[in-house]
C-alpha cells in the first residue's frame, strides 16, 4: 500500500457525514498534505478543510508559553520572578513559586477544575481561576520538586502576560504573534470578541450518533486551552518556530529544552516550556483535549517533519494516528537514505 493510501486508511474514521478533522503534514517547510475530512458543522453539513478553525485545547499551551518567553526576551519579566510579584493575591503557600515553575508544570498548584462547584454557573475565566486559588493556602508539593500537569498554572500565566504587557492576553497574542506571522484566522476566543472564521463545532459520540458538545464550564479559560486556529495558520506558526521572527536561539533552546522530567512508563520524556520532548530531543509535541475536540501537534525537527491533526470530536484521540502518519514519512526517508547509500561505489 502506498503512503497516500495508508494516510487515507488512517483518516477514514473522520471521513463522511461525521464530525471531522484537518490534517497537515509539513516536510522541510513545505505542506505535502493539507486537507480536511468529514464535517466541521453537522447541522449545516459544512465540509472541513485547511481553513477550518478548531478549539486547540491544550495545544494552546505552546502559545501561552511563547507569550511569556517573548516578554522575558523583551526584558518585561524574568522567568525567575516570584509569581506573587505579578499575582500578589495568591496565598502564602505560593511564596516559593516562580514563573518557570508554571511553565514546566512544577508549581504544585491545585487544579482549578477540582475546586469548582458542580454544577458551575456559566463559564469560569482565567481571573476566576485566580480567585479560586486565592482560597487554597496549600500545594501538592514543594515548587520545583516534581512534575504535575497543571491547567491552573497556564491560566495564571495568561494573567501574568496581561500584567507584564499592559494588554489583554488575547490582544497580546494577536499583536505579538498572530498578526506578525500572518495567522489572521487565529484568535484566543473571548465572549464579545472577534468572530472565529470557519469555526468548527465540537461533538461527542452517543449511541448511534453524535451530540453537539461544543462548550463546558472550562471552555472560556484562555491560557490553558482557549485558542482557535486552523492548519493553514499553524503551518505559519510552525515555520516561525525554526527562524528568528519570534525566538532568539537561547529562547528556542529553553522552549524545547528538558525542563522537567515527566513520569512515563513507555519512554523517557520531559516537559519544556509549552512542549513535551523526548529524552533525545528528537520529537516535540503537545496534545489537546477538551469537550468536543481532540488534537495532536507533533514535530520531528531533525527530519524537518511536522504532523498536525485537529478534530472536532471526542473520539478517537489523534496522537497515535499523527505518530503513524509521521512514521510513513520517516520510513520513506529511511528507504531513500538506504538506497542512496547502496548506490555509492
Sign of CA dihedral 273, 97, 139, 223: negative
- What tens digit of pLDDT does each residue of 96-143 get? 999 999 999 999 999 999 999 999 999 999 999 999 999 999 999 999
What number of other Cβ atoms are within 10 A of residue 149's Cβ?
A: 12
Q: How far apart are CA 132 and CA 139, in angstroms?
A: 13
Residues 6 or more apart whose Cβ sits within 8 Å of residue 27: 304, 305, 329
Q: How far apart are CA 199 and CA 214, in angstroms?
A: 11
For 118, the 3-state DSSP assignment is: coil
Lowest-confidence pick of 144-158, 264-278, 287-301: 264-278
In which band, very low, low, confident or very high, does the pLDDT at 337 lie, cut at 50, 70 and 90?
Answer: confident
Match 548506490 to its residue by C-alpha cell: 343
In which band, very low, low, confident or very high, does the pLDDT at 51 lie, cut at 50, 70 and 90?
Answer: very high
On whether the CB atoms of residues 107 and 139 are closer than 8 A, the answer is yes
In which band, very low, low, confident or very high, does the pLDDT at 274 lie, cut at 50, 70 and 90?
Answer: very high
On whether the CB atoms of residues 290 and 263 are closer than 8 A, the answer is no
In which band, very low, low, confident or very high, does the pLDDT at 332 lie, cut at 50, 70 and 90?
Answer: confident
pTM recorded for the entire structure = 0.96
- What is the share, in percent, of the chain residues with pLDDT greater than 70? 98
- What tens digit of pLDDT does each residue of 212-231 get? 999 999 999 999 999 999 99
C-alpha cell at 176: 505579538
Measured CA distances, 52 to 39, 64, 170, 309, 312 (Å): 10, 22, 20, 12, 10
- What tens digit of pLDDT does each residue of 63-78 get? 999 999 999 999 999 9
Which stretch of DSSP H or E encloses residue 67?
helix 61-73
Q: Kindly write down the DSSP assignment for every residue of 277-315, as one continuous string.
A: EETTS--EEEEEEETTEEEEEEEEGGGTEEEEEEESBSS
In which band, very low, low, confident or very high, does the pLDDT at 341 lie, cut at 50, 70 and 90?
Answer: low
- Asked whether the predicted pLDDT for residue 311 surpasses 80, the reply is yes
In which band, very low, low, confident or very high, does the pLDDT at 239 lie, cut at 50, 70 and 90?
Answer: very high
The rounded radius of gyration (Å) of the Cα atoms in the chain is: 20
- Across 265-296, b (16+ Cβ under 10 Å) vs e yields eeeebbbbbbbbbbeeeebbbbbbbbbbbbbb
Which stretch of DSSP H or E encloses residue 113?
helix 112-115
Relative to beta strand 203-206, strand 39-41 is: unpaired
Mean pLDDT of 318-339: 90
Measured CA distances, 341 to 264, 328, 329, 334, 338 (Å): 36, 20, 18, 11, 5
Mean pLDDT of the residues in the chain: 96
Structural domains in the chain plus CATH codes: 3-35+48-343 (3.40.710.10)
In which band, very low, low, confident or very high, does the pLDDT at 329 lie, cut at 50, 70 and 90?
Answer: very high
Residues 6 or more apart whose Cβ sits within 8 Å of residue 319: 285, 287, 296, 298
pLDDT at 345: 52
Residues 6 or more apart whose Cβ sits within 8 Å of residue 320: none
pLDDT at 333: 85
On whether the CB atoms of residues 33 and 22 are closer than 8 A, the answer is no
Amino acid at each position: 500500500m502506498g503512503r497516500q493510501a495508508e494516510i487515507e486508511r488512517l483518516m477514514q474514521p473522520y471521513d463522511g457525514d461525521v464530525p471531522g478533522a484537518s490534517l497537515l503534514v509539513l516536510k522541510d517547510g513545505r505542506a505535502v498534505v493539507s486537507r480536511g475530512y468529514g464535517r466541521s458543522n453537522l447541522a449545516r453539513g459544512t465540509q472541513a478543510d485547511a481553513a477550518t478553525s478548531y478549539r486547540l485545547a491544550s495545544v494552546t499551551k505552546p502559545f501561552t508559553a511563547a507569550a511569556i518567553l517573548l516578554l522575558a526576551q523583551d526584558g518585561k519579566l524574568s522567568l525567575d520572578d516570584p509569581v506573587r510579584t505579578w499575582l500578589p493575591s495568591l496565598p502564602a503557600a505560593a511564596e516559593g513559586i516562580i514563573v518557570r515553575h508554571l511553565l514546566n508544570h512544577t508549581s504544585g498548584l491545585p487544579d482549578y477544575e477540582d475546586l469548582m462547584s458542580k454544577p458551575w454557573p456559566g463559564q469560569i475565566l482565567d481571573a476566576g481561576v485566580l480567585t479560586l486559588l486565592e482560597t487554597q493556602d496549600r500545594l501538592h508539593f514543594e515548587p520545583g520538586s516534581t512534575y504535575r500537569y497543571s491547567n491552573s498554572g497556564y491560566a495564571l500565566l495568561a494573567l501574568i502576560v496581561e500584567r507584564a504587557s499592559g494588554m489583554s492576553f488575547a490582544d497580546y497574542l494577536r499583536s505579538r504573534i498572530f498578526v506578525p506571522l500572518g495567522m489572521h484566522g487565529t484568535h484566543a476566543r473571548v465572549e464579545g470578541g472577534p468572530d472565529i472564521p470557519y469555526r468548527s463545532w465540537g461533538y461527542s459520540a452517543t449511541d448511534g450518533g453524535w451530540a453537539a458538545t461544543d462548550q463546558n464550564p472550562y471552555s472560556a479559560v484562555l491560557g490553558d486551552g482557549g485558542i482557535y486556529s486552523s492548519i493553514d495558520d499553524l503551518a505559519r506558526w510552525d515555520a516561525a518556530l525554526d527562524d528568528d521572527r519570534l525566538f532568539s536561539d537561547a529562547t528556542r533552546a529553553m522552549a524545547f529544552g528538558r525542563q522537567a522530567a515527566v513520569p512515563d512508563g513507555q519512554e523517557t520524556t520531559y516537559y519544556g516550556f509549552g512542549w513535551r520532548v523526548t529524552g533525545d530531543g528528537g520529537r516535540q509535541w503537545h496534545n489537546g483535549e477538551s469537550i468536543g475536540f481532540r488534537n495532536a501537534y507533533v514535530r520531528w525537527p531533525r527530519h524537518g517533519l511536522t504532523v498536525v491533526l485537529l478534530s472536532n470530536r471526542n473520539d478517537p484521540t489523534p496522537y497515535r494516528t499523527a505518530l503513524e502518519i509521521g512514521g510513513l514519512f520517516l520510513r520513506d526517508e529511511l528507504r531513500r537514505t538506504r538506497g542512496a547509500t547502496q548506490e555509492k561505489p
